[in-house]
Each structure stands twice: as C-alpha cells, then as structure tokens.
Amino acid sequence: MKPNPPFEKPLLEVRQDEENTLNVILQGPADISTAPALIRQLSASVPPNQTIQQVKVDFARVTRLDDYGAMVVLRLVQILKLNHDQLSFVNLAPEHEKTLALVDFGQPDCRIPSHKSGNLIIRLGDATISVFQGGTLFVEFIGAMVFSLMRVLKRPQSFRANDAITYMKTTGVDALPVVGLISFLLGLIMAFMSSLQLSQFGANLYVASLVSLAMVSELGPIMTAIVVAGRSGSAYAAEISTMKISEEIDALVVMGFDPNLFLVLPRVVAAMVVVPILTVFAGIFAVAGGLVIGVLMLSLSPGAYIQQSLEALSLFEVMWGFSKSVVFALLIALTGCFRGLQARGGAAAVGSAATSAVVTSIFLIILFDSVFAIIRSYW
Amino acid sequence: MGANDIIRVENLAVVYGEDHVLDGVSFTVNKGEIFIIVGGSGSGKSTLMRHMTGLEAPAGGNIFIGDTDIAASGSKDFSATLKRIGVLFQAGALLGSMTVAENVALPISEFSGLPAEAVAAMVQIKLSLVGLECYGEHLPSEISGGMKKRAGLARALALNPDILFLDEPSAGLDPVTAAEIDQLILHINQTLGTTIIIVTHDLDSIFAVGQRAIMLGRESGHIIARGAPADLRDHDPNPEVRRFFTRKPPDT
C-alpha cells in the first residue's frame, strides 16, 4: 500500500466505540474524482482482521455521492467481510439513497456457471477431446468433399468455374513474383554454397546438376507450397471464417447451396491447377539463379550450365516434383477451407483460423514430403 | 453557449463523394435531458452520431461539446472531451478477446487511478446496474445480443460520463428486453444525471424515454422537425413526420 500523501485532505473519519461498532464518517465529495484517495484512506484506517460487529456509515457531511463513492462503502463491506444486517447508513439524504440503491452490498447470487475451468486435468482432457473431434470433423469434411465432387461430375455446370478462375489468379498469378524471387535467390545461394565444396575437387560443373535436381524434385515443390500456404491458405481460412461468423454460410445452406461446392471446391481446383505451374516456374528461376553464380564465379559458359542442368533431370524427376506439388496444393486448400469452416465466435476466430490454417498446412506439407521420400525409396 | 446547453451543433455538413448526407444541421442538447435523433433508414442518423462522437470529421460546421469544438482537427481538449462521453454502439462493440468484466474494467483501470480490488468492485457495481452481475466471467461470444448491449452500456457508463450516446439501443431486442433497456436509460438519466442522446427508430422507446427529438429528412439531409415526440406525432405540419411517428405507410 502506498503511504498517504502528507497533504491529502481527510475524506473519511473512522471511530470505533466499545460495542465493536465502527463509525465511518464520510466528508466532502465521494465521487469518481475522490475515489482513489478514499480507497487509500479506507485501507489505511480499517485493518481487515478486526472483530467488528456493526458498521455505521454516516453521510451527513457528504456533499456529492456517485457510484464510485458507493463503491468505497462496498469495499468496506468486502474488507471486513460484513453481512447485510451488520451495515447501516445514517443521515442519508434522499438523493444519496438513490445512488446507494444502485449497489448490491451482498454477494451476487449467481447460479450461472462460468465457462472457465481451472483444473489442469480437465483442461488436458478437453484439449485431447477437441483434437480427436477435430480429426473426426476433418474426415467428415473430406467425405463431404468427395460427395460434392461426385455431384459436380454428374452435373458439371454446377461447378463455379468463374470463381475458380478468380482464385487461380489470386493464388497463382499474383504469387509468381514472390515465388520467382525466392526460388531465384535459393538457386543462387545453393549454387554458391555447393561451389565452395565442389571446386575443391574441380567438380564445378556439377553445381548445375545439384541445383536443378534439388530444386525440381525436392525444394521447389516445398518452397512453393510454403509460400502458397502463407499467402493463400491463410486467405482462404480468413475469407471463409469471416463468412462463417457473419452467417453468410448459413444463408447459403438455407438457400439450398452446398457450401463445399460453392466455396471449397473452386479454391481446391484452382490451387491444384496453379501450384504445379508455380512449381515449374520455381525450378526455372532456381536454375537461373544458379546460372548467375556458374557464369560469374565458376567461369562456366551459359550453354554448358544449362546443358548440364537438363542432363541431370529425367522426366521422372520432373513428374515427381510436379505430382508432389499437386498433393501439396490439395492439402493447403483443404486445410485453409476446413479451418475457415470450423471458425466460431468473433473477430479473434478469424485470426486463429488463419494462423492454424498456415501452421497445419506447413506441418502436413513436410509430413507428406517425408511420405513421398519413403515411397520413393521403395519404388 | 447558453447556460443550459451541453452540446451545440452548428451548420454541420457531411459530404460523401457527391452525396450531401447532412446539410446545415443545427441543434442544441440541454444538460440532463434525453434527446432523440430519428429519421428513416439512410437519413444520416448514425452518421450524425459518428460526427458528434468525434469518429469522423465533418465537411463543414462545428460541434461543441461543452466548450470544445470536436470538429476542429487537432483540438487540444479532444481527449479530455472524449472522457466526458460514453458511447454504446449498435452491437455492443465488446472486445471479443476479453471477458465482459475485463471489457468494463478497461476504461476504469486505465483512467480512474483505483487499485485492482476497487476496480473489481466498481465493475461489479456497473454490471449489476445493467443486470449482468453473474456474467462477468463470460466472453462476449457466450452471451446473447441483448446482454452484449447491456454489457456495452456498462462499459459506456464506466467513467460516469456527462453525455451518453446510444446507437439503436433497442434494435434487435425482444419487447420485454427493449422495455428493460428503456427503464435502464431513464434510471441512469435520473440517478446519475447523465445527458443521453439516442439514435433510434423504435417508437415505443421514443415515447417512453424521449424528452426532445429532431427528425432528419430522408433525402434532404436537413432537420425536418424538432420538438417533443408526442407533439411531433400529433401536431407537426409535415405529413412525413406524422407518418413516421404513427407508423403509417404513405398511401393510407
């Protein structure tokens, strides 16, 4: 507790008489401006561990009372843990009585349980249950997607092609500069770092093979997928969750639309079309980045560098990278849309949908990349 | 400024692009009264309120709250003036990441200088004033629309403002809850002496609590009527105004 400022005007006086009755005399204004001083003086003059039977609060000298002043009395009740019948007011003016009527000096009688559960085990259980429920919901979501897809195959005109084209632009075309720049720099870095080692054996030419093989079959698909997850997976989640919390998706459902067909399928198709194309561009830009190092630092001719890059690649490698990126695109789009559809609540739900869409997508991309690596080793 | 006015709006003009939303709007609000701003949908009521609370700067005119012109940009008393007003937004505008109690505590702990226990006690008083003493620990997403409004009202009242702006306080509420909000408005006005400005088109509310009203024209952007709500309903020369207050479509 801070000590009273020495010049602070006394705003209350506390007197205790023989029968354990505490007389609290308020003086001057008791309102929002004096409440901090009143609380300080109250804490200083009323020790909490007293055996008080009765408290009389005298309002005779109160010039102004608002609910902040009434709060000071409530604090007195709380500090001394008083019952309702232990508290009485004297010299109460009618207008002050009105103000005090705003305040319930007893404990509020609440039967509504708060939703917060403090118990660690309960929270751990809740978290586990929600993880499993999330898994079940995701399986249900995939199932619903399959049904929507079958409906589209039966009735192709129900597919929203215009939406899909819009998403192809936002997911693919608009991402090209950033994907291109990152791949170019990645190719440049990889060529530079590997040349430091390979030049020791006079194997400079193999820098070209290393960059093209690594970027086309492994790093290109992953980097592109991570960029798309950050750019578009989060955008899908944010758009759909905003629609969800503003009841737009409910509106679609009651109008008889299938939200999966309306919102999810165009995004999934768009991503699966453009992400592989972006991946091809990523490979080309990476080779270009390596070429800069090869020509400027390793004295290779551009023709020889490109020749060596192409020789290192088989059609299988290219198709392998290509098919990985199709799977990654599916994962990104499905996760983004799923997280969006799961959103509940207000503005915070949009943020957490976008965050968890990106985190889940990146995790799944890495997980499936290792699955691909295992498949390949047993090919 | 007259002795009794707390707000004076002079020749307010609001222009969005080519659209003159408000044009030459002037009125005063007296200290301690319940003042109603009505008008059809799209007449600029909410726009007027956004300007009176300093959220938007007008194209022309002045808005005095006390002696401060909040329309003048960079007015040095602006933030002090903001502490004198409380605003209840249409949907409550509670911060979704905080509990109801934390929402109400936010202005109290920031501006009152009280220690934490006293802030908690004050929050309890404010919440019981609006009948939400048992919902302090709930998140806004866990309570109903009417409760959100009441919680928003508790937050608007947190620092005992001189002036309270209410944007459609009873819209979207059932009649009983709406009537409770009206009672609450009267109660706050009488016990705390707060000047209350209400933007609404809920006729029951207008006649239950309103002392004076202005009505904005649907297309003109002018004030087309001013006076006590019952007088406007019974005696106003303009049929558009009488129709509004008697809830009759134009062809009857």
- Mutate one of B126, B160, B183, B189 to test the A interface: name it (highest A CB count within 10 A): B160
Instruction: Find the mean pLDDT for residues A104-112.
Output: 70
Distance from the Cα of residue A123 to its chain's centroid = 20
Tell me the longest C-alpha to C-alpha distance in chain B. 61
Residues A158 and A226 reside in one and the same domain: yes
- Mutate one of A38, A68, A76, A96 to test the B interface: name it (highest B CB count within 10 A): A68
Higher pLDDT, B4 or A239: A239
Reduce the secondary structure of A194-217 to three states and give it as a string. HHHHHHHHCCCCHHHHHHHHHHHH
Residues A226 and A361 reside in one and the same domain: yes
Which residues of B lie inside 8 Å of A (Cβ-Cβ)?
A: 96-97, 112-115, 117-118, 121-122, 124-126, 128-129, 133-135, 137-142, 159-160, 190-192
- Mutate one of A1, A4, A65, A67 to test the B interface: name it (highest B CB count within 10 A): A67
Residue ranges of alpha helices (H) inside chain B are: 45-52, 78-82, 100-111, 116-129, 145-156, 175-192, 203-209, 229-235, 239-246
Q: Is residue B240 a part of any domain in this protein?
A: yes
Poorest-confidence range of A4-8, A200-204, B50-54, B68-72?
A4-8
Instruction: Find the mean pLDDT for residues A186-205.
Output: 90
Closest Cα of chain B to A4: distance in Å?
Answer: 14
Summary mean pLDDT of chain B: 85
C-alpha span between A338 and A353 (Å, rounded): 9
Residues A75 and A180 reside in one and the same domain: no
- Comparing CB atoms, the residue among A98, A103, A347 nearest residue B125 is A103
Question: Do A12 and A69 contact (CB within 8 A), yes or no?
Answer: no
How big is chain B, counted in residues? 252
Indicate the residue among A100, A135, A168 that finishes a domain.
A100
Residues of A in contact with B117 (CB under 8 A): 75, 78
Poorest-confidence range of A36-50, A175-189, B85-99, B186-200?
A36-50
Residues A275 and A182 reside in one and the same domain: yes
Tally of structural domains, chain B: 1
Tally of structural domains, chain A: 2
Which residue range is the domain that position B48 belongs to?
1-71+197-252
Summary mean pLDDT of chain A: 88
Q: What does the pLDDT look like over B21-54, one tens digit per residue?
A: 888 889 999 999 999 998 877 788 888 888 888 8
Question: Do A254 and A155 contact (CB within 8 A), yes or no?
Answer: no
Q: Which of B164, B158, B83, B84 is nearest to B123 (CA)?
A: B158
- Enter the tokens of residue A245: 């919390």
Higher pLDDT, A118 or A32: A32
Closest Cα of chain B to A238: distance in Å?
Answer: 17
Residues A80 and A174 reside in one and the same domain: no
Question: Distance from first CA to last CA of chain A, Å, rounded?
Answer: 74
Q: What is the pLDDT of residue B231?
A: 85
Burial environment of residue B134 by CB neighbours within 10 A (0 to 12, 13 to 18, 19 or more): middle
Closest Cα of chain A to B112: distance in Å?
Answer: 7
Give, for A369, the enclosing helix (H) or strand (E).
helix A347-377
Q: What does the pLDDT look like over B109-137, one tens digit per residue?
A: 888 888 888 899 899 888 888 888 888 88
Q: What is the pLDDT of residue A49?
A: 64
Residue A82 sits in a domain whose CATH number is: 3.30.750.24
Q: What does the pLDDT look like over A255-294, one tens digit per residue?
A: 888 889 999 999 999 999 999 999 999 999 999 999 999 9
Higher pLDDT, A140 or A5: A140
Instruction: Find the mean pLDDT for residues B98-107.
Output: 90
Contact check, Cβ <8 Å, B138/A66: no
Q: Is residue B18 a part of any domain in this protein?
A: yes
Residue B244 sits in a domain whose CATH number is: 3.40.50.300
Task: Give the bridge partners for B214, in sequence order.
Answer: B37, B226
* Nearest residue of chain A to residue B130 (CA atoms): A102
- Mutate one of B122, B188, B190 to test the A interface: name it (highest A CB count within 10 A): B122
* Predicted confidence band of residue B73 (pLDDT cuts 50, 70, 90): low
Residues A251 and A327 reside in one and the same domain: yes
For chain A positions 111-150, those within 8 Å of chain B (CB to CB) are: 111-112, 114-116
- pLDDT > 90 fraction of chain B, expressed in percent and rounded: 13
Instruction: Find the mean pLDDT for residues B158-174.
Output: 87
The dihedral of CA B104, B108, B110, B114: what is its sign? negative
Q: Is residue A361 a part of any domain in this protein?
A: yes
Residue-wise over B176-193: b if at least 16 C-beta within 10 A, else e? ebbebbbebbeebbebbe
- Comparing CB atoms, the residue among B122, B128, B137 nearest residue A114 is B137
Q: Is the ipTM of this complex over 0.90?
A: no
Q: What is the pLDDT of residue A208?
A: 92
Contact check, Cβ <8 Å, A67/B97: no
Q: What is the pLDDT of residue A2?
A: 46
Residues A164 and A277 reside in one and the same domain: yes
CA distances B134 to A84, A106, A172, A254, B178, Å, are 19, 13, 51, 35, 20
Amino acid identity of residue A330, one-letter, is L
Q: Is residue B45 a part of any domain in this protein?
A: yes
Q: Is residue B202 a part of any domain in this protein?
A: yes
Q: What does the pLDDT look like over A155-179, one tens digit per residue?
A: 888 888 999 999 999 999 999 999 9
Residues A300 and A232 reside in one and the same domain: yes
Q: Is residue B156 a part of any domain in this protein?
A: no
* Predicted confidence band of residue A129 (pLDDT cuts 50, 70, 90): very high
Instruction: Find the mean pLDDT for residues B197-225.
Output: 87
Poorest-confidence range of A114-123, A241-250, A323-332?
A114-123
Q: What is the pLDDT of residue A1?
A: 44
Q: Is residue A108 a part of any domain in this protein?
A: no
SS3 for A319?
A: helix
C-alpha span between A187 and B236 (Å, rounded): 79
Contact check, Cβ <8 Å, A108/B128: yes
For chain A positions 342-361, those within 8 Å of chain B (CB to CB) are: 344-348
Which residue range is the domain that position A43 belongs to?
12-100
Q: With 70 as the cut, is the pLDDT of residue A7 above it?
A: no
Higher pLDDT, B33 or A15: B33
Q: With 50 as the cut, is the pLDDT of residue A57 above it?
A: yes
